[in-house]
């Protein structure tokens, strides 16, 4: 017999075809992965089925015999329709329907017996199962064993893939459980005792092979704990390793740039800003590299806090890099930082302050000349602050003395990218990560678990409230009223955003009489750039789930046309912004909106993060049901930033209960922390953690980060893991945990390489 461990590839366990299917469709590569593939539900153990007693809508698993079968071709469709009639001992009947007879017809011969599982439907007055899962008994002996087992155990139902039905997966899992000699036990016995956990081996049996009266719950709990514990062990080790690094202490300087900046700040810092500022000053002055996450509500003033930290390191002779996820945001940061700094940003220039510095901007799409100048400024140390996109991470970008790395909107960057920037310092630089999406504690503890966190809870004084309404877009007068409201706000001198879920086609009916200066569309081949090699293209228009919609979603182009043709908006200047426009046009449009040369900006989610125009008072989100909760919250945060009350109108044509519920939740509260927790309940973790963090390896399998119960599991596992690493940093006494950690890191590495 072959020696199987949890790390063995599945090909050692099963034939190539199913192994490939499991890997490709379910991301299962090893035997351990298979163990972590949990059943979706369980069929209750049962007696031999009385077919006459079945009721429509029931999930059933019947044991029965094929009475007869027939197939016929279908009109207008490929394949043959197969109908199989089952019978039980007492003369009851049940139909099975397969829309593709292929593969089933040969097997489902009269007289064959087996398990058949599915949801009971009704067609033509007869009960039936459509495309049931089934497993035939091959001979009398097996039949008896199988039936006995059916009576003593619940039958797990796995999510099937292709021809790999739940039954087959179940058999593979059972085979794996029986073939692996020793199931790993990553959790130390003391911890198991304290937390009241079952062993991992028992947990796997409970989950995959629960007995007739057994509750798989404790098994699932144990697997969740396992996942959390291994993750937290990795984080604890990371933290430990970071503590061993030494950074150059950056001591505050009296009468320096920071002092000059503070002196001319047009507002008072909030108590929170002050407090976080003190923490940062202290950590920057330390030999231990700072590794801190700064989170806070949209508009809570994180950027000012980060800028003050940057100025502090410049005062100490170092440089700061600010990494932004998109070009729009990088350009925006560059503009707002230079404007906040005023003449302090004209270091070395005539008319500049004598304590000033230089701010450089480095992005992928800028011209060669500007780029070379920025590179030179960074390398020579002339630039105290270098703002940029991913372009900053590239190898040839060098700094004279990089002291602080600030990462904005971290959820769009992977840990690896953070590390790449960190390597650009002479010694490890201090790192400050800012996120504008408030992060629930569960996510903070997992994704950012190796960092310390600071939170800005209050908004700067004088912030105006935002009102949110859901607009039923199927009611024409509601829609009219929406655009009237936009017109009213514009009439009062304010501005509006209209966000659409997609860019859409240009459309044939575009009015060529439009002012080409304001319509970037008319300048070049839109659409050609859709798959351009722009390194950031996948960050653009990170749009809501595209798939699954039957309705045509409203595109930016269509909306622009409609609004320009809308008499209510006569004379209103409307522009457009999306990721397929070239960088120059995007920049120009943003500038035009910032300087109020445009009244309304029709855009995709490119404006989701960080865009800051205090004069904007309305945010209309079209097809709002297609956006995630956090995304809507982000979008809403674009208004109400000045002293003008904000209005957010969520338009939807989706009357479904979930859509209504989600939108109602957004309308009900502006508490970003609460919303991001709710968001986690509605969406898959990977989506919330951001595209770059999702996929195999980086997401969680068992934990549900939106659940309060799971928050406790993570917190417990965190205590246990950090405690363990404190007493046994190398885990010398815990070989199984070392193996589990290695398996997890391997996966993350593989996922990283796949993403490229």
Binding site for ligand ADP (CB under 6 A): 267-270, 273, 296, 298-304, 436, 460, 612, 641
Q: Rounded to the nearest whole angstrom, what is the least distance from the CB of residue 273 to ligand ADP in the complex?
A: 6
The site partner of 128 among Mg ion, ligand ADP, none (C-beta below 5 to 8 Å per kind) is none
251 binds, among ligand ADP, Mg ion, none (CB under 5 to 8 A by kind): none
Of 150 and 261, nearer to Mg ion (C-beta) is: 261
- Distance of closest approach, residue 620 Cβ to ligand ADP, in angstroms: 21
Select from Mg ion, ligand ADP, none the partner in contact with residue 269, using the beta carbon and a kind-dependent cut-off of 5 to 8 Å: ligand ADP
Choice between 230 and 444, CB closer to ligand ADP? 444
Q: Are 702 and 36 in contact (CB under 8 A)?
A: yes
Q: Please, what is the minimum distance in Å from the beta carbon of residue 379 to Mg ion?
A: 27
**One-letter-per-residue 3-state SS of 317-385:** CCEEEEECCCHHHHHHHHHHHHHHHHHHHECCCCCCCCCCCEEEEECCCCCHHHHHHHHHHHHHCCEEE
Q: Is residue 418 within a helix (H) or strand (E), and if so which, with residue range? A: helix 415-422
Contact of residue 631 among ligand ADP, Mg ion, none (CB under 5-8 Å per partner type): none
CA 232 – CA 722 distance, rounded (Å): 7
Strand bridging mode 600-603 / 466-472: unpaired
Residues 216 and 371 sit within 8 Å (Cβ to Cβ): no
- For 501-537, give one letter per residue: b (16+ CB within 10 A) or e: bbbbebeeebeeeeeeebbbbeeeebeebeeeebbbe
Q: How far is the CB of 292 from ligand ADP (least distance, A)?
A: 15
Token couple for 255: 């009468």
- Rounded to the nearest whole angstrom, what is the least distance from the CB of residue 613 to ligand ADP in the complex? 9
In degrees rounded to 5, what are phi and psi of residue 377?
A: -60, -40
Q: How far is the CB of 561 from ligand ADP (least distance, A)?
A: 32
Find which of ligand ADP, Mg ion, none residue 270 binds, CB within 5 to 8 Å per kind.
ligand ADP
Phi, psi (degrees; rounded to nearest 5) at 119: -100, 130
Instruction: Kindly state the smallest distance separating residue 747's Cβ from Mg ion, in Å.
Output: 33
Instruction: Tell me how long the chain is.
Output: 756
Which CB sits closer to ligand ADP, 83 or 464? 464
- Rounded to a whole number of angstroms, the CA Rg of the chain reads 30
Select 164 or 294, whichever has its Cβ closest to ligand ADP: 294
Q: Which residues pair with 442 in a beta bridge?
A: none
Binding-site ranges for Mg ion (CB under 5 A) = 303, 610
CB of 277 to ligand ADP, least distance (A): 11
300 interacts with, out of ligand ADP, Mg ion, none, CB within 5 to 8 A per kind = ligand ADP
- Min dist. Cβ of residue 265 to ligand ADP (A): 8
Contacts of residue 664, defined as CB under 8 A and 6 or more positions apart, other chains included, come to: 470
Taking the least distance from each CB to ligand ADP, the nearer of 36 and 458 is 458
Give the tokens for residue 194.
Answer: 């304290």
Q: Which of ligand ADP, Mg ion, none does residue 117 bind to, with CB < 5 to 8 Å depending on kind?
A: none
Which C-beta is closer to ligand ADP: that of 260 or that of 471?
260
Taking the complex as a whole, the smallest distance from the CB of residue 332 to Mg ion amounts, in Å, to: 9
- Our measurement of the distance from residue 752's CA atom to the centroid of its chain's CA atoms, rounded to an integer in Å, reads 15
Least distance to Mg ion from the beta carbon of 453, Å? 17
**326 is in the binding site of which of Mg ion, ligand ADP, none (Cβ under 5 to 8 A by kind)?**
none
114 or 301: CB nearest Mg ion: 301
DSSP code string of 677-726: HHHHHHS-HHHHH-GGG-STTTS-SS--TT-HHHHHHHHHHHHHHHHHHH
CA 141 vs. chain centroid, Å, equals: 50
CB nearer to ligand ADP: give 248 or 454: 454
Q: Tell me which residue of 594, 512, 617, 599 sits closest to 563, measured CA to CA.
A: 599
Q: How far is the CB of 301 from ligand ADP (least distance, A)?
A: 3
Tokens of 189: 């016995």
- In the numeric block, which tokens belong to residue 76? 């207008």
- Residues paired with 128 in a beta bridge: 95, 121
In the list Mg ion, ligand ADP, none, the entry touching 438 (Cβ below 5 to 8 angstroms by class) is none
Of 152, 76, 150, the C-alpha closest to 113 is: 150
Q: How far is the CB of 9 from ligand ADP (least distance, A)?
A: 46
Instruction: Name the binder of 191 from Mg ion, ligand ADP, none, CB < 5-8 A by kind.
Output: none
Rounded to a whole number of angstroms, the distance between the first and last alpha carbons of the chain is: 39
The continuous run of DSSP H or E covering 414 comes out as none
Tokens linked to 146: 């199988």
Nearest to ligand ADP of 303, 326 (CB atom): 303
- Cβ distance to Mg ion smaller for residue 205 or 612: 612
* Phi, psi (degrees; rounded to nearest 5) at 618: -125, 140
For the bound state, the minimum distance from the C-beta of residue 303 to ligand ADP, rounded and expressed in Å, comes to: 3
> Left (φ > 0), alpha (ψ -120 to 50) or beta: where does 463 sit?
beta
CB within 8 Å of 745: residues ≥ 6 apart? 234
Q: Which does 267 bind (CB under 5 to 8 A by kind): Mg ion, ligand ADP, none?
A: ligand ADP
Q: Which does 298 bind (CB under 5 to 8 A by kind): Mg ion, ligand ADP, none?
A: ligand ADP
Minimum CB separation of residue 433 from ligand ADP in Å reads: 13
Q: Which is nearer to Mg ion, 237 or 363 (CB)?
A: 363
Packing angle of the helix pair 735-755, 217-244 (nearest 10 deg)? 80
Considering the complex, state which of residue 127 and residue 298 has its C-beta at the smaller distance from ligand ADP: 298
Question: Nearer Cβ to Mg ion, position 117 or 330?
Answer: 330
Q: Please enumerate in sequence order all residues whose Cβ is within 8 A of that of 657, keeping only pairs 6 or more positions apart, or say none.
A: none
> Which of Mg ion, ligand ADP, none is residue 296 near (CB under 5 to 8 Å by kind)?
ligand ADP
Would you say 201 or 269 has its CB closer to ligand ADP? Answer: 269
Which CB sits closer to ligand ADP, 176 or 405? Answer: 405
Contact, 483 vs 328, CB < 8 A?
A: no
Residue showing tokens 């009900």: 668
Phi, psi of 754 (to 5 degrees): -60, -40
Q: Residue 460 binds what, of Mg ion, ligand ADP, none (CB under 5 to 8 Å, by partner type)?
A: ligand ADP
Nearer residue to ligand ADP within complex by CB, 19 or 329:
329
Phi-psi group of 462: left, alpha or beta (phi > 0 → left; psi -120 to 50 → alpha; rest → beta): left
For the record, the structure tokens of 469 come out as 């309404």
273 contact choice in Mg ion, ligand ADP, none (CB below 5 to 8 Å, kind-dependent): ligand ADP
Select the binding partner of residue 132 from ligand ADP, Mg ion, none (C-beta < 5 to 8 A, by kind): none
CB of 467 to ligand ADP, least distance (A): 20
């Amino acid at each position: 017999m072959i020696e199987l461990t949890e790390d063995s590839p599945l090909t050692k366990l099963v034939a190539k075809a199913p192994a490939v299917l499991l890997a490709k469709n379910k991301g299962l590569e090893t035997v351990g992965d298979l163990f972590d593939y949990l059943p979706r539900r369980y069929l209750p153990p049962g007696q031999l089925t009385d077919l006459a007693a079945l009721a429509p809508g029931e999930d059933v698993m019947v044991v029965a015999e094929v009475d007869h079968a027939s197939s016929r071709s279908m009109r207008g469709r490929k394949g043959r329709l197969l109908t199989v009639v089952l019978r039980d001992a007492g003369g009851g009947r049940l139909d099975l329907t397969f829309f593709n007879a292929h593969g089933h017809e040969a097997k489902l011969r009269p007289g064959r017996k087996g398990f058949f599982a599915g949801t009971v439907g009704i067609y033509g007055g007869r009960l039936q199962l459509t495309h049931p899962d089934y497993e035939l008994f091959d001979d009398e002996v097996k039949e008896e064993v199988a039936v006995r087992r059916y009576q003593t155990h619940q039958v797990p139902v796995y999510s099937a893939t292709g021809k790999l039905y739940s039954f087959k997966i179940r058999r593979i899992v059972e085979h794996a459980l029986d073939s692996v000699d020793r199931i790993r036990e990553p959790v130390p016995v003391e911890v198991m005792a304290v937390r009241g956990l079952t062993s991992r081996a028992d947990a796997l049996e409970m989950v995959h092979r629960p007995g007739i009266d057994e509750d798989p719950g404790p098994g699932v709990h144990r697997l969740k704990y396992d996942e959390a514990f291994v993750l937290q062990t990795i984080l604890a080790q990371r933290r430990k390793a970071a503590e061993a690094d030494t950074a150059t202490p950056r001591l505050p300087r009296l009468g320096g740039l920071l002092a000059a900046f503070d002196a001319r700040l047009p507002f008072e810092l909030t108590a929170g800003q002050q407090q976080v500022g003190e923490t940062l000053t202290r950590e920057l002055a330390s030999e231990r590299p700072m590794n801190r996450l700064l989170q806070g509500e949209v508009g809570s003033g994180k950027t000012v806090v980060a800028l003050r930290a940057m100025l502090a390191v410049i005062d100490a002779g170092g440089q700061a890099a600010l990494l932004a996820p998109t070009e729009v945001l990088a350009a925006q940061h560059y503009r707002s930082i230079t404007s906040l700094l005023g003449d302090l940003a004209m270091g070395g220039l005539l008319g500049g302050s004598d304590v000033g510095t230089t701010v450089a901007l480095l992005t992928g799409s800028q011209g060669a000349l500007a780029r070379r100048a920025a590179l030179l400024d960074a390398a020579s140390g002339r630039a105290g602050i270098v703002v940029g996109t991913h372009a900053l991470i590239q190898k040839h970008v060098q700094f004279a003395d990089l002291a602080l790395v600030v990462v904005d909107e971290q959820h769009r960057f992977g840990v690896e990218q953070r590390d790449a920037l960190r390597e650009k310092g002479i010694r490890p630089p201090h790192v400050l990560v800012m996120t504008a999406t408030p992060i629930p504690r569960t996510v903070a503890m997992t994704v950012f678990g190796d960092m310390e966190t600071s939170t800005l809870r209050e908004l700067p004084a004088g912030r105006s409230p935002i009102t949110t309404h859901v607009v039923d877009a199927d009611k024409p007068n509601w829609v009219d009223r929406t655009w009237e409201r936009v017109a009213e706000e514009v009439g009062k001198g304010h501005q509006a955003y209209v966000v659409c879920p997609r860019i859409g086609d240009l459309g044939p009916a575009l009015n060529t009489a439009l002012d080409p200066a304001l319509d970037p569309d008319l300048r070049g081949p839109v659409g050609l750039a859709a798959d351009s090699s722009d390194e950031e293209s996948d960050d653009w228009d990170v749009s809501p789930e595209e798939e699954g919609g039957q309705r045509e979603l409203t595109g930016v182009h269509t909306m622009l046309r409609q609004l320009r043709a809308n008499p209510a908006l006569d004379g209103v200047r409307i522009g457009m912004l999306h990721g397929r426009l070239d960088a120059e046009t995007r920049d120009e449009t943003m500038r035009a909106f910032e300087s109020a040369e445009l009244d309304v900006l029709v855009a995709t989610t490119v404006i989701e993060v960080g865009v800051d125009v205090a004069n904007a008072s309305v945010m209309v989100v079209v097809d709002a049901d297609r956006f995630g909760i956090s995304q809507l919250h982000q979008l809403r945060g674009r208004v109400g930033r000045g002293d003008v009350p904000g209005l957010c109108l969520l338009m939807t044509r989706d009357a479904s209960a979930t859509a209504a519920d989600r939108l109602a939740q957004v309308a009900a509260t502006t508490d970003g922390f609460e919303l991001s927790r709710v968001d986690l309940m509605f969406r898959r973790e990977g989506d919330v953690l951001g595209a770059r963090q999702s996929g195999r390896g980086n997401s969680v399998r068992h934990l549900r980060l939106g659940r309060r119960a799971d928050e406790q599991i993570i917190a417990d596992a965190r205590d246990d893991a950090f405690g363990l690493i404190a007493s046994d940093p190398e885990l010398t006494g815990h070989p199984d945990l070392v193996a589990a950690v290695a398996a997890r890191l391997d996966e993350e590495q593989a996922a990283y390489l796949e993403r490229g």
